[in-house]
């Protein structure tokens, strides 16, 4: 499995939660990964959160598995 720093890469449809406050998404809000884009250290995620916010270009460090 590829890693970003020491965090394991997330998979599509994996359930996650926001590790920090993001614009429109409070810390701890649950969501689901809908897209994994990039390679190596440049992987970004698109996540739809339970509060209805759809965020793209989210870093792995901003999410908890």
Q: The domain that contains 15 carries what CATH number?
A: 2.30.30
Q: Which structural domain, as residue segments, surrounds residue 41?
A: 3-64
* CA atoms of 30 and 62, how far apart (whole Å): 12
pLDDT given at position 40: 84
Q: Tell me the per-residue pLDDT of 17-55, one tens digit each, with 9 for 90 and over.
A: 999 999 999 999 999 999 999 998 899 999 999 999 999
pLDDT given at position 2: 52
Total domains present in the chain = 1
1-10, 12-21, 37-46: which is most confident: 12-21
- pTM for the predicted model, two decimal places: 0.87
* CA atoms of 51 and 9, how far apart (whole Å): 24
pLDDT given at position 6: 79
Compute CA 41 distance to the chain's CA centroid, rounded to the nearest angstrom.
Answer: 14
Task: Give the CA radius of gyration of the chain.
Answer: 11
* CA atoms of 19 and 41, how far apart (whole Å): 19
């Amino acid at each position: 499995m590829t890693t970003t720093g020491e965090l394991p890469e997330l998979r599509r449809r994996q359930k996650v939660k926001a590790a920090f406050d993001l614009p429109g998404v409070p810390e701890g809000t649950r969501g689901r990964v809908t897209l994994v884009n990039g390679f190596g250290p440049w992987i970004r995620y698109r996540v739809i959160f339970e509060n209805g916010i759809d965020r793209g270009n989210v870093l792995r460090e901003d999410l908890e598995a």
